Amino acid sequence: MAEVFVRARARRDILLNAEYLEEHGGMETAQRFLDATQMTFETLARMPKMGILCTFSSPALRRLRRWPVKGFENWLIFYLPRRNGVEIVHLIHGARDIESLFEG
């Protein structure tokens, strides 16, 4: 069975994004986001190479992939494929300066 490992930083990202959506769209929107995030994680775990390879300049980020949250395409999941699933590294809104978040 495919596994999803979520780093602590990614857990914080998820909660902060859900709080933002609750404030601006209501509790129902935040819950839909949380459900969609979990479903997208599970899909990625079953097909870990479906995400797009990131083109960051750092060699340490060479294997990092990204994929949008289904139904919330402005939010991007950054993850590493694993032998038996995925490791979720970040969940970030696409309008942010993404590369600087990884290098900082």
pLDDT of residue 103: 58
66: closest CA among 102, 32, 33, 35? Answer: 102
- Average pLDDT of span 66-91: 95
Entry pTM: 0.89
| For residue 53, pLDDT beyond 80 | yes
> Cα–Cα–Cα angle for 68, 72, 75, nearest 5°?
50
Domains of the chain and CATH, by start: 3-103 (3.30.2310.20)
Listed range (11-25, 35-49, 53-67, 74-88) with the worst mean pLDDT: 53-67
pLDDT score of 41: 98
For residues 7 and 31, give the distance between their C-alpha atoms in angstroms, rounded to a whole number. 21
Rounded to whole angstroms, the Cα distance separating 20 from 80 reads 26
Residue 69 pLDDT exceeds 90: yes
